[in-house]
Structure 1
Amino acid sequence: MAKSDEEQVADLVRNWAAAVHAGDLDGVLADHAADIVMFDVPPPYEGVRGLDAYRETWPPFFEWQAQGAAFEIESLEVTAGAEVAFAHALLRCGTPQDFAQRPAQRLRLTVGLRKEDGRWLVAHEHHSFPDPGEASS
């Protein structure tokens, strides 16, 4: 039986997160649109536009992550229509020291996708952390 659109998108996001955790740049780039727009935690504040610019953001993250940081999906919700979908997730993203200081901190991920030629592609990706001064738990 064919997977539902929601299941396909959930698999795509899980595969992306596994590739990020593994430092697999090709896996991270897979299933991303050429015109992707990403709003990330670090600058530039106006976001990163296009697959080449998106690609350039990952090596510094991989270097940081190689120092023992986690990147693990804790929760994932997907809504999918016939041609567009979105997903939001909470991830454990940080070093053991980060979690010792802020155990409840989670990376917030929102992904917007569109279907092209029967294939889901990430067109927008947004990563954020809450302001630790405002976190209540």
Structure 2
Amino acid sequence: MQTDQEQIRALIERWAEAVHTGDMDRVLQDHAEDIVMFDVPPPYEGVRGLDEYRRSWPPFFEWQAQGAVFDIESLDVIAGDDVAFAYALLRCGTKEEFAANPDNRLRLTLGLRKEDARWTVVHEHHSFPLVPTDQDEPEEA
């Protein structure tokens, strides 16, 4: 029998593979009806509920179909009896983006709850680090 950490890790790995292949049913599979997601693109107040979550994915799938990757590089899981969280770093980008910035990683944090002996994602947060550009650097006096 799998531990809670193993169950959650498998759930996240299935989700990441579903995102990579653009399989919407599998992306939604282990997410709660009341999910809240804070994502890289707007809306700034986040995505609330499974219907909004579902509607947020097609633009990403279209971008990814042009050759981008979505691969888990590291994943840590901490689980209690009925709540858990996980954090991960993912390679998410195109060959051109990685050529320009090979160290860039998508940061992922997930909050989960256990209901009826089943783990579900109730919170998802994606972010990229802010990478300064030449325009962001102060001018010298």
TM-score, normalised relative to structure 1: 0.96
Distance in 1 (CA, whole Å) between partners of 2:9 and 2:93 is 22
Matched, 1:79 2:106: no
1:129 is matched by which residue type in structure 2?
F
3-state secondary structure, aligned to 1:42: coil
Superposition pairs of residues 1-137 of structure 1, within 5 angstroms: 2-133=1-132
3-state secondary structure, aligned to 1:67: coil
How far does residue 125 in structure 1 lie from its aligned partner after superposition?
A: 0.1
3-state secondary structure, aligned to 1:74: strand
Count of paired positions = 133
Distance in 2 (CA, whole Å) between partners of 1:61 and 1:53 is 14
1:132 is matched by which residue type in structure 2?
V
1:119 is matched by which residue type in structure 2?
R
How far does residue 49 in structure 1 lie from its aligned partner after superposition?
A: 0.1
Deviations 1:9-64 (A, max 9, x none): 00000000000001000010010000000000000011000000000011110000
3-state secondary structure, aligned to 2:66: coil
Give 5+ residue unaligned stretches, structure 2. Answer: 134-141
User: Which has the larger Rg?
Assistant: 2
3-state secondary structure, aligned to 2:57: helix
Runs of 4+ in structure 1 over 3 Å off: none
2:13 is matched by which residue type in structure 1?
R
How far does residue 133 in structure 1 lie from its aligned partner after superposition?
A: 1.3
2:65 is matched by which residue type in structure 1?
A
1:62 is matched by which residue type in structure 2?
F
2:10 is matched by which residue type in structure 1?
D
How far does residue 107 in structure 1 lie from its aligned partner after superposition?
A: 0.1
1:54 is matched by which residue type in structure 2?
Y
Q: Percent identity?
A: 69
Give 5+ residue unaligned stretches, structure 1. Answer: none
Supply the RMSD in Å over aligned alpha carbons: 0.8
Distance in 2 (CA, whole Å) between partners of 1:64 and 1:122 is 24
